[in-house]
Structure 1
Amino acid sequence: MPPSVETAVREAMRGDPRALLVAGWNRAPTYLMAARIALDAGRPCLAVFPSVDAASAFARAAAGAGFAPVLVHGDLPPAARRSAWESLRSARGMLVIGTRAAVFAPVADPVLAIVDDEDNSGHKEERAPRFVTRVVAEARTRETGVLIIGATTPPVATWAGVEAGRLRLVALPSPRPRIGVVDLRRRPDPGMPVSRPVLDAVRRVARSGGRALVLADRKGYAGGLHCAECGAVERCPQCSVALSYDRSGRRLSCRVCGFAMPAPNVCSRCGAARLHLLGAGTERLAAFFRRLAPRVWRLDADVAANVRDVTAVLAPFREQGGVLVATTLVVPWLEWLRPNLVAVVSADRWLHRPEFRAAERILSLLRTLSMASRARVLVETSDPNHPALLAAAAASLRPFYAEETALRRALDYPPFRSLVAVVVSARSAAVADAVIARLAADAAPPTEVLGPSPVPGAAAGRVERRLVLKVADRSAARSLLWPLVTGAAAPSQVKVVVDVDPIEL
């Protein structure tokens, strides 16, 4: 461990500054060292992780290093969770480890709060009060504590804190990502679900007895049907989202509301008989590779509902080798699996999602895939010069952060504005439209309004409308939204959900 790490932790304890960004791979030793220094002050420490597996692994590491940690997470039996929670009320020099709810642990005046893998969606509570772990941790350590943020690839907004001097960077030595790009613009056979370079690489690994991981962005057989004549995609008549294709019954179904229909033979827009499968899900990819390799496994939410199901799929793949077709459900297991090759199929669907964080998220995913597996990562794309792909294999991320920060500044996205999503639900479209329109009209500059727009998949008998506010001043947003939240500005049948810092737009 570089000497500068310990120096940074000790200086943070003295308030210079009080927040650190630990960037890189294998962050646990740094956390343990920081906890040991902090606990010398006789005050409690919090370490919060995005998943039960990650929290449990760190608790085992802490116990092995001589700590006596208290582990708190939702998978504990109710009695054990209640007992652990009660034991914290009188605790002083104690290390509390857990998932996001642990950030509220009833310990007085924590000297240190660690938030690991901070850009993981596991740190955002999607039910009321919809908190973000980092925001609560910042509040609990603002006066006399130290905040440590950990990430393999820091989000753009976090990096802006380093540039502004609010965070001190602790860069850990990490393996250089090994990432190769497959240019789909030169793909000779567009009818195959994978490119020839990916097919050849996977086949070589499987034939040699190795482990090849094929990563898809979706489960199921295909993303749906699209028309080669007019470009239309078959959509749900209730939700307007693209319908997924089910091969077994040649049906199209909506994963939001459950609508289903037989797969048509002609385009519903232009009538042309030129419908083709849109993309490849895990089911289609697994069927394709089973024709080429004797041992093929599949991992997605349809075949693995819990940890036991996941290990039932992954254990034989790890022992016997072959091909594993999976969604990102596999990512936390990569260090244990150690595949010899990772192939990311059709990365364009990640790159070009209608979400301002799309670039940083695919960058983080690719770097994590490479560092965790220590394998070469092949990425299929029709946009090989995309900044995120160029940055993924680069020695420095600073050019990417500079370009992305400039773009967000120009478009008023975080960290330069805060985002607040508001969803209004009512029994009639007229009422929902009236309430959301009044809110949009009351939003005065410099607050910017995106929307309103319909929300697909509303509950039966309800209509939902959504808008997003870009706010420069959160207190102004609070004044604007408070009458809606309390019901003073909406009929009794109307339900309003306010989500500050939403994960998805």
Structure 2
Amino acid sequence: MPSFARVLPDKAGDRALDYIIPPHMAEMVAPGSRVKVPLRARLLQGTVLEVLEDSDVPGLKEIHEVMGGQPLILPKLFELARWISDYYCCSLEAAMSCLLPQVVRQAQVSAKKRNFARALREITDDDLEKLAAKAPRQADALNAVQQAGKPTAITELCQTAGVSEGVFRTLEEKGWIAIEQEEVARDPHAGDTFIPTQDLELNEEQALALEAVKVAIASPTPPRPILLFGVTGSGKTEIYLQSIKAVLAQGRSALVLVPEISLTPQTVERFKARFAALQQEVAVLHSHLAAGERHDEWYKVRSGKAKIVIGARSAVFAPLESPGIIIVDEEHESSYKQEETPRYNARDVAVLRAQREGCPIVLGSATPSIESWHNVQNGKYQLVRLAQRVDDRKMPVIRIVDMRKTTKGGESAFSPPLVTAIESRLKKGEQTILFLNRRGFSTTMLCEVCGHVCECPNCSVALTYHRDASQLACHICGHTERAPKVCPECRDPGIRHAGIGTQKVEDIVRKIFPKARIARMDADAMSRKDAYRLTLGAFKKGEIDILVGTQMIAKGLHFPNVTLVGIINADLGLHVPDFRAGERTFQLLTQVAGRAGRGEMEGEVLVQSYTPTSPSIQFARHHDFEGFVEQEMEFRERFHFPPFSRMVLVTVRSESREKAEFTTQTFVRRLREVTPEGIAVSEATPAPLEKAKGYYRFQTALRGTSTRAMSRAVQTVLHALPLPEDVFIVADVDPVQLM
């Protein structure tokens, strides 16, 4: 009696199709299996949604192939995908695509295999002497096998004996050795040495925090999420490490999310060093791994070999069978939000996954998101505080430099106080971090004669000048062009670079401090695979005096010899049309400032600002998170912004401005017809960044108390509204960026 499978083919819409399961595949096909199925004249990959005893669809075809042997998607992750599809207004197929790395989903890479040689019988010195008289190279090879004493890769034996692989083939033919293929893991950290470390002694606050986490671990019912609110340098990572140790003792696993790939090397080093003594496998999942490495790390988790997973946003879907704890470090970070379909927030998905797995989740931050703080206030989250730095180290002194007085109307990257402070650190052999959240050399090219600004042809932004390549680049769409030597409009040779980027900061620093060892960390400088790790390693060893960078150096990094942090332009993200601008600025300043004074020496932070009286800057200056939150919450509540309402942002884009505007207006009209009371729908307006990647963009925002009600209203209109071929609509639930 044949059985049937309901399969969701990739990129074929959201329509599931029934297929016959051939008898020889019956034991291999289950919900979550990846299969190849015929669809018209093609073979498509797809996911098995369920196995059926019967199907009333006539003329069914058979499944062509089962991929991966075992079901790749765990049942609880299956349900998580269904929730994402419903909540984030996306197709089930789009949600399912998140669950597997592309290299696993497409079966693009197979396990790496190498030939290993082992002796088939005892090899005596007499055997080697006799063989050496006739075939000295074979004797050298056989001796290498004997010395190894265990199955060893032939590539290694060839190097040891100084012979080719063919010599070992001859020994196999003569019956001396056996050559067998074995799978070899492609480990991204294979060349690294991790010195085992022991648990650190906790102070009183840390001990209380750890006890609160252990109580949650032991809870028979799903505990409330824990918000670990700890100032920078308060020892949150040590709480994570000892909490995971308690979970491993119960035979369960742990998942750790970090917001940036740049944080991963240092985090991996600490975790691998701590758990080396327990011989626990730590798997790393992020997009900068090579395809083979990502394949092997994922399968290491799926097979149960790795009990600890560390990774960026997509690691929230790591196939851990029974996680005992989930940790989200720097939970406030906007990089946890995916900016393409499905637009999920990994922090929020992690909270839901922890609830469904019945395990505790710890959300750690020195500057929690307003949403998480609101959840503490209404009792949804449990608050655990770390108010002091470890070893009673002082918080860094933050000084504000009013650039309106310092530069006297001109443009300057460095104020005299910052130059003096850097000189002082260089003399003492201490290190400095200079932060500017804008890459490139100059932000614009401007003609002083006619006022022409070089703009991107695809986006509503000025092109950024990159001096290294002598080109202009758009950081939205990637468009590049040669930097002009004369104005494209009036042909005047006086066209100049305006604004400051990290490349220009680096250039100025090299001129002011020619003897200093300087490095830069931004998306341009860190394009090579190992660039993050090598640069951070050199900085940690003291081989770099001044590190210039963007937000990738702003959080989570621990360098005890850094005593000065200079923030070049603190106002950069403050004056944008987004209600979260003040919150993001406060968080970024606090996180960057927290890189100073993490060792024995006291730290200092110089914040250069043209609006020094901004609440974000003043509250950051005094390390006053709760003061900032109080005034920010008052503003949010008055204007009904999240967390006092929920939001869905709908963006319509088209190469035609008129079509984008008309479609958005039509969408708004239809939406207002189906939305229940209590949901406000804004007018159709141009997006703050009206044109991006060649498309004009119009938006409407829904605000109300029920996200599901808004999502369903949006989906109802989307399904009923016919769209021209060149018009696209995207719904962003709980947006973190309004641009």
TM-score (norm 1): 0.84
Residues 223 and 359, structure 2, Cα contact 8 Å, conserved in 1: no
Structure 1 residue 336 displacement after superposition: 3.7
For 1:450 and 1:134, the matched residues in 2 are separated by 30
**Does 2:399 align with 1:180?**
yes
For 1:233 and 1:327, the matched residues in 2 are separated by 25
**Does 2:631 align with 1:419?**
no
Bigger Rg, structure 1 or 2? 2
Structure 1 residue 405 displacement after superposition: 0.8
Decide whether aligned partners of structure 1 residues 202 and 266 sit closer, same or farther in structure 2, where only a CA change above 3 A counts: farther
Q: In the alignment, what sits opposite 1:71? A: 283
Structure 1 residue 259 displacement after superposition: 6.3
Residues 648 and 702, structure 2, Cα contact 8 Å, conserved in 1: yes
Structure 1 residue 492 displacement after superposition: 4.7
Decide whether aligned partners of structure 1 residues 58 and 298 sit closer, same or farther in structure 2, where only a CA change above 3 A counts: closer
**Does 2:552 align with 1:329?**
yes
Write the mapping of 1:68-217 to structure 2, written as runs, cut at 5 A: 68-74=280-286, 75=289, 77-88=293-304, 94-108=307-321, 110-142=323-355, 144-172=358-386, 173-174=388-389, 175-189=394-408, 190-217=410-437
Q: Which moved more, 1:79-88 or 1:398-407?
A: 79-88
Residues 485 and 493, structure 2, Cα contact 8 Å, conserved in 1: no
Structure 1 residue 504 displacement after superposition: 2.0
Structure 1 residue 171 displacement after superposition: 1.2
Gapped regions of structure 1 (runs ≥ 5): none
Q: In the alignment, what sits opposite 2:89? A: none
Write the mapping of 1:433-472 to structure 2, written as runs, cut at 5 A: 433-444=661-672, 446-449=679-682, 451-454=684-687, 458-459=692-693, 462-472=695-705
Q: Which moved more, 1:56-65 or 1:144-153?
A: 56-65
Structure 1 residue 407 displacement after superposition: 0.9
Q: Deviation per CA, 1:215-254: give whole Å up to 9, x if none.
A: 2221222222569999996644652213324557987654
Structure 1 residue 306 displacement after superposition: 3.2
Residues 266 and 273, structure 1, Cα contact 8 Å, conserved in 2: no
Residue identity (%): 27
Residues 484 and 496, structure 1, Cα contact 8 Å, conserved in 2: no
**Does 2:709 align with 1:473?**
no
TM-score (norm 2): 0.60
For 1:4 and 1:322, the matched residues in 2 are separated by 38
For 2:344 and 2:212, the matched residues in 1 are separated by 29
Q: In the alignment, what sits opposite 2:257? A: 48
For 1:208 and 1:6, the matched residues in 2 are separated by 37
Q: In the alignment, what sits opposite 1:407? A: 635
For 2:321 and 2:545, the matched residues in 1 are separated by 51
Q: In the alignment, what sits opposite 1:378? A: 606
Q: Deviation per CA, 1:150-204: give whole Å up to 9, x if none.
A: 1122122211111212112111232523211111121155243322211222233
Q: In the alignment, what sits opposite 2:243? A: 34
For 1:253 and 1:35, the matched residues in 2 are separated by 44
Residues 655 and 696, structure 2, Cα contact 8 Å, conserved in 1: yes
**Does 2:734 align with 1:501?**
yes
Decide whether aligned partners of structure 1 residues 184 and 156 sit closer, same or farther in structure 2, where only a CA change above 3 A counts: same
Q: In the alignment, what sits opposite 1:22? A: 228
Q: Which moved more, 1:99-108 or 1:482-491?
A: 482-491
SS in 2 for 1:319: coil
Decide whether aligned partners of structure 1 residues 277 and 221 sit closer, same or farther in structure 2, where only a CA change above 3 A counts: same
Q: Which amino acid aligns with 1:345?
A: I
Decide whether aligned partners of structure 1 residues 115 and 309 sit closer, same or farther in structure 2, where only a CA change above 3 A counts: closer
Q: Which has the higher contact order (CA 8 A, sep 6+)?
A: 1
Residues 474 and 480, structure 2, Cα contact 8 Å, conserved in 1: yes
Aligned residues: 499
Structure 1 residue 484 displacement after superposition: 5.4
Q: Which amino acid aligns with 1:241?
A: V
Decide whether aligned partners of structure 1 residues 156 and 233 sit closer, same or farther in structure 2, where only a CA change above 3 A counts: farther
Q: In the alignment, what sits opposite 1:368? A: 591
For 1:480 and 1:491, the matched residues in 2 are separated by 21
Residues 67 and 95, structure 1, Cα contact 8 Å, conserved in 2: no
Residues 228 and 275, structure 1, Cα contact 8 Å, conserved in 2: yes
Q: In the alignment, what sits opposite 1:300? A: 522
For 1:333 and 1:216, the matched residues in 2 are separated by 17
Aligned-residue CA RMSD (Å): 3.7
Structure 1 residue 344 displacement after superposition: 0.7
SS in 2 for 1:131: coil
